[in-house]
Amino acid sequence: MQSLWLIFQLLFCLFIGFILARKLPERLEKLCFKILPYFTYLLLIAIAIEFSQTLHNLSSPAQILSTAVLIALGTSIGAFICCYVLFKAFGYKPMQGKVSADLLLSSLLNISYAFFALALGYGMAELFSYFQLNVHISTWYLLLVFMFLIGLDLAYSPLDRSWLNWKILLVPLACIAGSLLGAVAVSYMISSISLKDLIMLSQGYGFYSMTGIVVTELKNAQLGSIALINDLFREIFAILFMYLIGWRYPRSAISSAGATAMDVTLPMVKQSCGNDFIPHAMVSGFILSVLAPIAVSILAAL
């Protein structure tokens, strides 16, 4: 029952944000949109503070990092290959394009901000511990606020009904299927985590500010740490794929980008893939952003 209650809270906050769009006072909406880009970093700081105690109790934190990176690599490659095979079967050929090194560096810099926020949170936790300060921050309630803001933002996403055709819908479908296959492949290399938990971790689609908290609440802090780092690296791999081979295989790169395709990696889609593939990124990112908290929550509760 507790698991169902937590899932309901996530979906309810997302739904409330979506239906209240354009109904809230204009000043309040503007404030929400100003807060949203920075709220992720606040969440990461809070997550790091909460996870710091867990890291002290772990015998091999380095193993968490290596495990998370392996899962991220497997699921990212799985999504890429699955999308490539699907569109190859329908006769789609590789594209041509070009990318900018400046935008690549800028994108990697944005990712570094996330790691900086985690380091800042961990440092704050160590200071609290040193001065024997008992500080408790509820990451769950922060996540509920974040889901509300996400719902508000999704309502303003410029989605067009004409984009909802079967060809574009194959992109998020390939991400879901490829992530599952990637998790199965990784299970042969990781014996310490069950296949069921690996599948759960694979369904975050790069939504790192959500998955770590949900998995911690419904499973345990160790898996929550892996979920957080896994989705952080999925975003990094998405950026690298977009620039290394996305210009030639745009749909596959968008698929590997998961939920980030409609926000973080969207500028890269525009540049490396072209404006024709913006609908693919928007639709895929939208579907996966909504699906991620549902899929992770249900799989974690099983």
Mean pLDDT by 10 residues, the chain (302 residues): 71 90 91 87 83 67 86 96 90 63 69 84 88 80 88 79 80 96 95 94 88 86 88 85 80 91 76 79 87 89 82
Could you tell me if 40 and 114 are in contact, meaning their C-beta atoms sit under 8 angstroms apart? yes
pLDDT at position 4: 66
Place of tokens 């890269």: 268
pLDDT at position 47: 80
Closest by Cα among 227, 187, 200, 228 to 301: 200
d(CA 29, CA 8): 24
pLDDT at position 142: 87
pLDDT at position 104: 66
Place of tokens 């408790």: 136
pTM over 0.85: no
d(CA 43, CA 221): 16
The two tokens of residue 199 are 């599948």
pLDDT at position 286: 85
Burial class (CB within 10 angstroms; exposed 0-12, middle 13-18, buried 19+) of 139: buried
CB atoms within 10 A of CB 131: 8
